[in-house]
Amino acid sequence: MKKPPQRHQGVPQTAEWKSSNSSWEDGPRGARGRHGAWTAWRSDDGSVLWKGRYLDGKIHGDVTYFDHGDATMIVTWVHGSYNGLRTLKKPAAAKRKRVKVPKLRGTPYERLTQLDEALRGAKHEDYARVAWKKIRPADVAKAEKKLRTKLPPSYVAFVKAHGVFDIRGTDGEVYNRLLAPLEIAKITLALRRAGEEFLDDGLCFQGNVYDDNFYAFRVGSRRKDGEMTVGEWNHDDDSVWPRRFKTFDEHIGELCAHWCDELA
């Protein structure tokens, strides 16, 4: 039996993989099988594929299909038998007001503050704000003990002063989550135990939306000032260390610039 694909964020843990439909599906069951309202999610990005109802194990009534939030088609079934379809007109895309993107300046924290103001002011359909969470300063020493190495001073100073952050989407997505010190230890050590040799010399410190790819500090690049270069670990083996030395502070600056480009 073919292994199910990765379950994307937003797909319930109770959803079952339906290989014949290439989708995750979830809903209530009765004595004769599926019974009540069911939902299916796409395997590639976790977006809703369709919503419909079952009656005693058979699809019954209207099943509405979606294209990333927009209803595109309704297929009608009667006790499991196909009974026609109708295509829905896709709503015209709203013309988004062009946003004047600021030129970010200052420290990483100041740039993130400016980015937060830009995100909130843009009223983007997908991206909303920068969210923050405090950490316990003592966790830095605990994480370094677990990792048996020091974390870069720039990262340590940043999280002790400001905490960790992520970029929030308008419907709950979490992008570029900066990991707290103990999360760096937990995730890095788990991936090393799983055989990820690239991370024998790396420390995962910031994830993507699915937390399956990470930015990483390269321990072997440590300079006299304690700083380390920033590379990328990808679960599909497309991992890379940069040719030039890029610190945590520079990484945050580039990250903020990227998000400003998303608003333009």
What number is the average pLDDT over the span 27-56?
Answer: 88
What number is the average pLDDT over the span 210-227?
Answer: 93
CA atoms within 13 A on the CB side of 197: 1
Contact 148, 108 (CB under 8 A): no
Residue 124: band (very low, low, confident or very high) from pLDDT cuts 50, 70, 90? confident
Residue 188: band (very low, low, confident or very high) from pLDDT cuts 50, 70, 90? very high
What number is the average pLDDT over the span 46-58?
Answer: 90
Pure H helices in 163-201: 181-193
- On the question of pLDDT at 202 being above 90, the answer is yes
Residue 1: band (very low, low, confident or very high) from pLDDT cuts 50, 70, 90? very low
Q: Which of 118, 117, 120, 123 is nearest to 97 (CA)?
A: 123
- On the question of pLDDT at 4 being above 90, the answer is no
Residue 97 confidence (pLDDT)? 53
User: 108-263 has which CATH code?
Assistant: 3.40.1580.10
Q: In this prediction, what percent of the chain has a pLDDT beyond 70?
A: 94
What number is the average pLDDT over the span 7-21?
Answer: 82
Q: Give the range with max mean pLDDT: 22-31, 134-143, 200-209.
A: 134-143
Pick 178 or 211 by higher pLDDT: 178
What number is the average pLDDT over the span 223-230?
Answer: 97
Residue 236: band (very low, low, confident or very high) from pLDDT cuts 50, 70, 90? confident
Which CB contacts under 8 angstroms, 24+ apart, belong to 9-14? 9/46, 9/173, 9/174, 9/209, 9/210, 10/41, 10/46, 10/172, 11/41, 11/46
Question: Tell me: the pLDDT tens digits for 70-119?
Answer: 888 898 988 888 888 887 765 554 455 555 656 778 999 999 999 999 99
CA atoms within 13 A on the CB side of 30: 12
Question: Tell me: the pLDDT tens digits for 129-159?
Answer: 999 999 999 999 999 999 999 999 999 999 9
Q: In this prediction, what percent of the chain has a pLDDT beyond 90?
A: 53
Tell me which DSSP letter residue 177 carries: P
What number is the average pLDDT over the span 181-203?
Answer: 96
> What SS3 class is residue 24?
strand
What number is the average pLDDT over the span 16-24?
Answer: 82
Q: To the nearest whole number, what is the mean pLDDT of the chain?
A: 88
> What SS3 class is residue 160?
helix
Domain regions of the chain by residue span: 16-87, 108-263
What is the rounded CA–CA span in Å between residue 264 and residue 260?
7
Residue 85 confidence (pLDDT)? 80
Taking the model in full, what pTM does it have?
Answer: 0.64
Residue 253 confidence (pLDDT)? 93
